[in-house]
Homo-oligomer: A and B are copies of this chain.
Amino acid sequence: MNEPFLSVETVDQVIAELRIPDPGQATIREIVALVNGVEARSGVKYVRMEMGVPGLKPAQVGIDAEVEALRRGVASIYPMVDGIPELKQEAARFIRSFMDVEIEPAACIPAVGSMQATYAAFMAAGYTDKRKDTALFIDPGFPVQKQQMMVMGLKYETFDVFEWRGPRLREKLECYFSKGNIHSVIYSNPNNPTWICLTEEELQIIGELSAKYDVIVMEDLAYFGMDFRKDLYSPGRPPFQPTVARYTDLFILFISSSKIFSYAGQRIAVMALSPRLFKREYADLKERFRCTTFGNTITQRILYALTSGAGHTSQYALAAMFRAASNGEFNFVEEVKEYGEKARVMKRLFTDNGFYIVYDSDLGDPIGDGFYFTVGYPGMTGAQLVHNLLYFGISAIGLKNTGSDREGIRACVSHVRRDQFPDLEDRLGRFNSFYRNRK
């Protein structure tokens, strides 16, 4: 067992052909291309954990509604830029049912995925106040959101939250906010990639400081309800999805259909603005957008210029999924629980073979099991680990890509099938034998 599982030559050849300078630091898409190349050449199927993509079937209630809208001829009609009334109402109702938060339907705005929603929000927020030119990311996080900032030419700062959990978060945030240059703060909850779940106490700190320093809070709920330690499918009753919306009146929530409804292909999400932010006038918006109201800048200026609205039939799909969920007829949390159950097994396969969980605790509790987990191997940097695992038929991305201070990899469970667990176990065993003997 003292050699890699795959031909080193084959892997290195593909790396060279794709001109990837350091596979350990490669982007998700570079890893995808690399693994596709090696799989094609070697015939070996990787255990693929690099992509954060759904591994389940799309929600049938969405498909049925979308087919019905297509049959009705909706495809010829431009969608309203701020969304069809049905989706706006059902989004507001979904937020009420599962978050216990009141948002006006007018302020629930569909977008072409949360990707477009954050792009539009970053752009508007970036021009609200000339003295505030910087966004703050509570990291680790989703790498593409920083690419959005790069493409727009906007500034950001970032810190790794792991050492600043609980009451310490106040100190860290205040140190940034008090400089006066931060217009907004962004985080995902549950967190991609660590699966840390910010608590009500932490969200309260973020909310209070948002009010104190007039900072917009952007809460990315891509994994809405997926902290499986609680059953968050209880429409209209607690427990509710934790949210900063209880603690500030200056927020944007991003709710994507991609993961919770396995509807990633249709690029449909909703952004929900707090009543105050939706109507708020920012005089400085005028220079860039000839409009001073935050909500109108988002819809009439930015979303209109980006794509003139989100796909019309997909809006009906999302409205139907929200409606069925709020009606108690569609337990979307139950449907995605499989991710958590796979994570539990996969984490054990790693830790049984010399690996350790990098972000292992959630304020004293063991980290939950969800869509992602993070692992490291003694004596290896994250980049080395990504690279070395490639020779053993396992692919992932390095944590450094996500704004983490720590060494390790992000593993996504969604595309690993249960029938691949024996392969994973075998390959991790080989990996451990190989490197354990080298130490």
State the A residues within 8 Å of B (CB): 29, 53-54, 56-58, 62-63, 66-67, 70-71, 73-79, 81, 112-113, 115-116, 119, 123, 144, 147-148, 150-151, 153, 258, 262-268, 288-290, 300-302, 304-314, 317
Is A289 within 8 A of B73, CB to CB? Answer: no
Task: Check A153/B288 contact, CB under 8 A, given A74-B265, A263-B75, A267-B309.
Answer: yes
Cβ-closest chain B residue relative to A290: B150
Cβ-closest chain B residue relative to A308: B115
Is B151 within 8 A of A267, CB to CB? Answer: no
Is A307 within 8 A of B113, CB to CB? Answer: yes
Query: Complex Cα distance A75/B150, Å?
Result: 29
Identify which of B63, B79, B151, B307 contacts A288 (C-beta below 8 A): B151
Is A263 within 8 A of B76, CB to CB? Answer: yes
Residues of B within 8 A of A76 (CB): 54, 56-58, 262-265
Q: List 13 A-B contacts (CB under 8 A).
A: A54-B76, A54-B77, A57-B76, A58-B73, A67-B67, A76-B264, A77-B264, A79-B265, A115-B308, A150-B289, A151-B302, A153-B288, A267-B309
Is A66 within 8 A of B70, CB to CB? Answer: yes
Is B266 within 8 A of A311, CB to CB? Answer: yes
Min C-beta distance of A117 to chain B, whole Å? 10
Query: Complex Cα distance A70/B57, Å?
Result: 11
Min C-beta distance of A225 to chain B, whole Å? 18
Which 5 A/B pairs are nearest by Cβ-Cβ distance? A265-B312, A58-B75, A58-B76, A112-B307, A76-B262
Residues of B within 8 A of A263 (CB): 75-76
Is B267 within 8 A of A310, CB to CB? Answer: yes
Is A57 within 8 A of B77, CB to CB? Answer: no
Task: Check A77/B151 contact, CB under 8 A, given A70-B67, A71-B63, A306-B119.
Answer: no
Query: Complex Cα distance A304/B151, Å?
Result: 10
Is B75 within 8 A of A312, CB to CB? Answer: no
Min C-beta distance of A227 to chain B, whole Å? 22
Is A144 within 8 A of B308, CB to CB? Answer: yes
Residues of B within 8 A of A308 (CB): 113, 115, 144, 267
Is A77 within 8 A of B63, CB to CB? Answer: no
Query: Complex Cα distance A268/B302, Å?
Result: 18
Is A112 within 8 A of B112, CB to CB? Answer: yes
Residues of B within 8 A of A307 (CB): 112-113, 115-116, 119, 267, 306-307
Residues of B within 8 A of A67 (CB): 67, 70-71
Residues of B within 8 A of A112 (CB): 112, 267, 306-307, 311
Residues of B within 8 A of A147 (CB): 301, 304-305
Query: Complex Cα distance A148/B301, Å?
Result: 8
Query: Complex Cα distance A29/B299, Å?
Result: 12
Is A151 within 8 A of B119, CB to CB? Answer: no
Identify which of B78, B301, B304 contacts A264 (C-beta below 8 A): B78
Is A115 within 8 A of B306, CB to CB? Answer: yes
